[in-house]
Structure 1
C-alpha cells in the first residue's frame, strides 16, 4: 500500500510539472492532480492495453513510435474524466505524456523499493 501511494504522488507531481511547462495543460488543485494520477493509472491499466492490441500493426510499422500517440490519447482521457484537469489539444497531450513519463521515471529512481 505505501508503494501505491508513493507512485500516486510521483505521478501527480509529474503532472504538475507538465502543467508548469505546457500552457495547454491546466490543473486547478493538488487534489485534481492526485485524482488525475489515479485516473491515469486506471486508464493505463484497462484502456491502454486494449488500444495497444488493436493498433499493433501501426505500432510495428512505426517501430513503436505509435505508442506515443496511444500515451497522448490516454493523457487526453485523463483530462476528459477528471474535474479540474484540462488538456487543450493533441500536442499538449503528446508532450504532457512525454513529460509525465520522464519526470515519473526520474522521481521513481529516488523512491524505488529494493526487493
Structure 2
C-alpha cells in the first residue's frame, strides 16, 4: 500500500511541475483538483494504457517508442476532460505535459 501512495504522490508532483511551466498550458484550480487529477490519471494509466499499448504496438515499434508520448498525452487530455478544475486546453498542451510528467516521474522514481 505504501508504494501505491508514493507513486501517486510522485505523479501529483509531476503534474504540479507541468502545471507550473508556462509553455505547457496545463492548469489546476485547487490542490484538491490536482490530487484528484493525479488519482484519475493513475487509474486511467493502470487500466487503459496496457490496452492502448497492445493495440498500437506496430506504431510504437515503427516510431522507436515515441508513439508512447501520444498515448500518454491522450490519457492526460482525457483526465482534463474528466476532472473538474483540472484544465488541459489542447492536445498540444497534453503532449508537452506528457513529456514533462514522464521526465519528472523518471527523475523522482529513480530515487526510490
In the alignment, what sits opposite 2:13? 13
Which shifted more, 92-101 or 55-64? 55-64
Unaligned runs of 5+ in 1: none
Q: 1:96 and 2:110 equivalent?
A: no
Pairs within 5 Å for 1:62-101: 62-101=63-102
Query: Using the alignment, how far apart are the partners of 1:71 and 1:65 within structure 2?
Result: 10
Unaligned runs of 5+ in 2: none
Q: 1:30 and 2:31 equivalent?
A: yes
Q: Root-mean-square deviation (CA), in Å? A: 1.4
TM-score by length of 1: 0.88
Q: Size of the alignment, in residue pairs?
A: 111
TM-score by length of 2: 0.90
- Secondary structure in 2 matching 1:64: coil
